[in-house]
């Protein structure tokens, strides 16, 4: 189980840290991995596919997420900001899903990291 103050597990962080990525791409990769976890949990609770989850559902989930609660208490606008970040991660996650030929909810951290590495080489 991951600590309440961490968005990624130590193993997930190690995979991202070991990737040949710029700092900006590592941030995007970390965000995509967290968003994937978030979307999976919301999908489980709502019986929606991750790609079908509306932003309102994400906002509600973020409000309940212990990892974010402290930040929300400090800055109420963080909720909207973070909702937009999670929603923007859907684009890359859909591309990873297509490239690996697996449903979005079945993606692995390794697949997400590999995709971002490949994209980083193209740029």
Higher pLDDT, 36 or 4: 36
pTM score over 0.75? yes
Contact 113, 15 (CB under 8 A): yes
Query: First and final CA of the chain: distance in angstroms?
Result: 35
Higher pLDDT, 3 or 95: 95
pLDDT tens profile 91-105:
999 999 999 999 999
pLDDT of residue 2: 41
DSSP per position, 53-109: --HHHHHHHHHH-HHHHHHHHH-TTHHHHHHHHHHHHHHHHHHHHHHHTS-GGG--H
């Amino acid at each position: 189980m991951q600590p309440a103050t961490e968005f990624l597990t130590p193993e997930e962080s190690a995979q991202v840290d070991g990737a040949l990525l710029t700092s900006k791409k590592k941030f995007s990769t970390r965000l995509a991995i967290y968003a994937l976890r978030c979307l999976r949990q919301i999908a489980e609770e709502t019986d929606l596919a991750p790609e079908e989850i509306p932003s309102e559902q994400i906002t509600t989930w973020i409000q309940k997420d212990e990892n974010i609660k402290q930040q929300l208490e400090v800055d109420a606008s963080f909720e909207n900001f973070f909702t937009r970040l999670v929603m923007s991660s859907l684009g890359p996650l859909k591309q990873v899903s297509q490239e690996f030929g697996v449903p979005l909810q079945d993606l692995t951290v390794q697949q997400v990291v590999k995709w971002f590495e490949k994209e980083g080489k193209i740029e």
